[in-house]
Structure 1
Amino acid sequence: MLSTLPHITKYLWAIPTLLLWLTDPDPEREATVRVAPESEVVISGTTNVNQFSCKYNLHELELPIRLTYDEKAQHILFKNARLKLANDCFDCGGKTINKDFRELLQTKQHPEVELKLLYVDPPQPDRQTISVGMEIKIAGVARKYESILNCEQKEGICVKGTLSLKLTDFGLEPPRKVLGMIKVDNDIQVHMALQMNEI
């Protein structure tokens, strides 16, 4: 009879845990945000003779974006937080370089660049940086990255930062132009300054 006491005690300790799980199963939450027009997404890089910078026309993102997220102990996990950026809406400053940029990204087969937010570490009151997990898809190839971004919370949330990528990570060969004399470098940067307001 006494030998069963440890087992009873074990089950009694498990009851509060089970009740807590049933009453607060950590449900998913939803929010709808709008990306403000002063936001920026810029892809930039260099060649052996100059630099290029291709800015996205964010008026294409005026529609609200619906987010589903789960607040865990270590991360805020996101399920459908993604920006789909049409390659044709990047402006590199001229018709020829725009054409070259779209060819580089294989726009006919893969017309969009996709930025997908995977998780965010909860912001700390004494810091203006957050750790962010992202998935970036270029030319149909997705790669995951972790980065530290600046985060300001005034009116809404503003997230700023730059990710360094390599074209070859996405199966893209750095192109050569003008009989091979101009070569695009393998390293590119994706700069983001996203002002998001909940609606």
Structure 2
Amino acid sequence: MLMTFGLIPIALAAQSYQISKGEGEVMVTGTSTLHDWEEVAEQKSGSISVDKTGELPTISTLKFTVEAESLKSGKGAMDKNTYKALDTKNHKQIVFNMKSVKSISPVSSNKYKVVANGDLTIAGSTKTIDLPFDLTLDEGKVLLEGKKGLKMTDFNIEPPKALLGTITTGNEIEVHYNTVWK
């Protein structure tokens, strides 16, 4: 019986946080032959479990989801091209699911540089990636900030074209994330 009680403090030490929908931002940026562009994710969700009882925090889970059709550029035609390229009729969500933490190092008393490894699924294609971010632990909330470059073709996505192919989107995109978890 003593063994069982000895494990309870460890189990209770990790705290789970949910993404705060009204705070933070996830944005995708890229280029085209006409202009640079950006799209902001209007619907995102996720959870992270962090244990901060040790010298360095440990992250046991991190899952992040963006509703694919919530990516908005402010230009309806561009959004339609994006949804077609992402095949949102068949693949409604973009999901990152962490498998492990590769590294974590302190920046200040409550801020850490983290590299998480996990599966990223876009348009039904899954790749294992390293996701770098700054983790800040701040009175009942967690902040994740960073950016990650990706290639559309790595996820079997044909970069969108417009006006009979005279305007082409660059293959390389960058995902910027500045999220708040409570």
TM-score (norm 2): 0.77
More helix by share: 1
Amino acid of the residue matched to residue 102 of structure 1? Y
Task: Indicate whether 1:142 and 2:147 are aligned.
Answer: no
More strand by share: 2
Q: Hey, what does 2:88 align to over in structure 1?
A: 107
Task: Indicate whether 1:44 and 2:29 are aligned.
Answer: yes
Gap regions ≥5 residues in structure 1: 1-19
Q: Percent identity?
A: 20
Q: Hey, what does 2:42 align to over in structure 1?
A: 57
Structure 2: how far apart are the matches of 1:184 and 1:67?
A: 33
Aligned length: 171
Partners of 1:76 and 1:119 within 8 A in 2: no
Structure 1: how far apart are the matches of 2:100 and 2:11?
A: 14
Among 131, 136, 148, the alignment partner of 1:163 is 148
Q: Hey, what does 2:166 align to over in structure 1?
A: 181
TM-score (norm 1): 0.71
Q: Hey, what does 1:118 align to over in structure 2?
A: 99
How far 1:134 sits from its partner (Å)? Answer: 3.2
Partners of 1:28 and 1:70 within 8 A in 2: no
Amino acid of the residue matched to residue 167 of structure 2? I
Structure 2: how far apart are the matches of 1:108 and 1:128?
A: 38
Q: Hey, what does 2:66 align to over in structure 1?
A: 85
Structure 1: how far apart are the matches of 2:47 and 2:164?
A: 47
Cα shift readout 1:66-92 (whole Å, capped 9, x = no counterpart): 556799xx994645x322221111111
1:57-76 equivalence runs, <5 A: 57-58=42-43, 61=45, 65=46, 67=48, 76=58
Larger Rg: 1
How far 1:50 sits from its partner (Å)? Answer: 0.6
Instruction: Provide the alpha-carbon RMSD of the alignment.
Output: 3.2
Task: Label 1:171 to 1:28 Cα distance change in 2 as closer, same or farther (>3 A).
Answer: farther
Task: Label 1:28 to 1:181 Cα distance change in 2 as closer, same or farther (>3 A).
Answer: farther
Gap regions ≥5 residues in structure 2: none
